[in-house]
Amino acid sequence: MKKILFVVCTHGDELAGHKLFQDYPYGQTDKVEWEVFVGNPEAVSFNTRFIETDLNRSFDARNPTSYEEKRAELIKLRLQQYDEVYDIHTTRSIHPSSWDDCIFINHSKPEILEACRYINAPHIIWNSDQEYAKRYLTYHHPFALTLEYQKTYDVYSDYERILADFENIIHQEMRLKKQKIIYEASRGVTQQERGIHGLEFEDFRYLTRLEKKQLELPANEDYVPVFVNQTETDADFYCFLTRKIKEI
Ligand SMILES: [Zn+2]
């Protein structure tokens, strides 16, 4: 029987996922056995993103020292006990009206793309920069997906969207026929760059010609920005610029 791990609260202030831990901490269907695991319990108790360093940027520490870097080492060992891993996040982008949930993957393998069909999110973003991806939890398992749900001001409605996908996964039912678009995360835009050019992006809106010029991107390719960070706390990174590569 397939063993699935759902990780919630890798960021301690993303509490919709915590409800999944409270309601369905473990169990099994006729197809899978699952467990829900709290990524950063210390940060959850303070309802804060992290204690010392962002856990979801702490998985590549050479010499783990912060609470989160040490926690990342424990989590890496834990992940090995499962066949599939889903790391559940809620994120508040700059423009919460866009409502676009998305899936981040680190390897564009067919079986992972197949698993994306359980998830009711229209966009798949492939972290093609393997060096950068090492800092994320899901990089450290061969079959892992990061699910990013837009965080609204209603934790219960966010939870409902998470729960619908959770049900699809544990019953292994691909009810979703909707087409998904795969993007490659081409590069990030830093806070500093944003300041220099005075950029104001929205999620999944194509960059204008002027913006592409300012960022020295090829004019003949389309890019959309995707926010996954807290701009207040993530000093070195602002958003991913992604390039559409195909539809599935
Ligand atoms: Zn998060």
Amino acid in position 91: T
219 CA distance to ligand 1 centroid (A)?
32
Question: For the residues of 78-116, what is the DSSP string, one character each?
Answer: HHTT-SEEEEEEEE--S-GGG---EEEES---HHHHHHG
What's the gap in Å between 231 CA and the centre of ligand 1?
A: 12
Residues 94 and 191 reside in one and the same domain: no
In this structure, the answer to whether residues 20 and 65 fall within a common structural domain is yes
What is the whole-number distance in angstroms between the Cα of residue 88 and the centre of ligand 1? 7
Model confidence pLDDT, tens digit, residues 35-51: 999 999 999 999 999 99
Q: Are residues 167 and 192 in the same domain?
A: no
Are both 89 and 175 inside the same structural domain?
yes
Q: Which amino acid is at 123?
A: H
Q: Which residue has the tokens 């093609």?
A: 128
pTM: 0.92
Residue range 95-101: mean pLDDT, rounded: 62
Q: Is residue 195 part of a domain?
A: yes
**Lowest-pLDDT range, 123-127, 147-151, 184-188, 224-228?**
224-228
Determine the pLDDT at residue 144.
97
Q: 240 CA to middle of ligand 1, Å?
A: 15
Taking the C-alpha atoms of residue 234 and residue 143, their distance in angstroms, rounded to an integer, is 27
> Considering the domain boundaries, does residue 96 fall inside one?
yes
Q: Are residues 128 and 8 in the same domain?
A: yes
pLDDT of residue 9: 98
* 3 alpha carbon – ligand 1 mean position (Å): 23
- The reply to whether 177 falls in a domain is yes
The CATH number given to whatever domain includes residue 26 is 3.40.630.10
Distance 14 CA to ligand 1 centre (A): 6
The residue from 154, 181, 208 where one domain ends is: 181
> Within a domain: residue 59?
yes
d(CA 34, CA 27): 6
121 and 226 belong to one structural domain: no
Q: What is the pLDDT of residue 129?
A: 85
- Note whether 225 and 144 are same-domain residues: no
Give the pLDDT confidence score for residue 176 in this predicted structure: 66
Q: Compute, in angstroms, the gap from residue 218 CA to the centroid of ligand 1.
A: 30
pLDDT for 168: 96
Burial class (CB in 10 A: 0-12, 13-18, 19+), 155: middle
The answer on 96 and 45 residing in a single domain is yes
Q: What does the CA dihedral 122, 90, 15, 137 come to, rounded to 10 degrees?
A: 100
> Is 248 part of any domain?
no
Cα 209 to ligand 1 centroid, rounded to whole Å: 31
The rounded Å distance from CA 213 to ligand 1 centre is 31
Q: Give the burial class of 100: count Cβ atoms within 10 A of its Cβ; 0-12 exposed, 13-18 middle, 19 or more buried.
A: middle
Q: What is the pLDDT of residues 39-89, one digit of tens each?
A: 999 999 999 999 999 999 999 999 999 999 999 999 999 999 999 999 999
Same-domain status, 110 and 213: no
Q: Of 148, 181, 214, which closes a domain?
A: 181
In this structure, which residues have their CB less than 5 angstroms from ion ligand 1? 11, 89
Domain tally, the chain: 2
31 CA → ligand 1 middle, Å = 28
How does pLDDT run across 151-177, given as a tens digit for each residue? 888 999 999 999 999 999 999 988 766
Q: Provide the residue range defining the domain that includes 29.
A: 2-181
Going from the Cα of 196 to the center of ligand 1, the distance in angstroms, rounded, reads: 27
Residue 89 CA, ligand 1 centroid: distance in Å: 4
Q: What is the pLDDT of residues 197-221, one digit of tens each?
A: 998 888 888 999 999 999 999 999 9
Percent of the chain with pLDDT over 70: 93
Same structural domain, 165 and 234 = no
Domain membership of residue 155 (yes or no) is yes
Residues 10, 127: one domain?
yes
Q: What is the Å distance from ligand 1's center to 164 Cα? A: 19
Quote the pLDDT of residue 91: 84
Per-residue pLDDT at 97 exceeds 60: no
Q: Are 157 and 211 part of one and the same domain?
A: no
- Of 130, 148, 181, the domain-final residue: 181
Distance from the alpha carbon of residue 49 to the mean position of ligand 1, in angstroms? 8
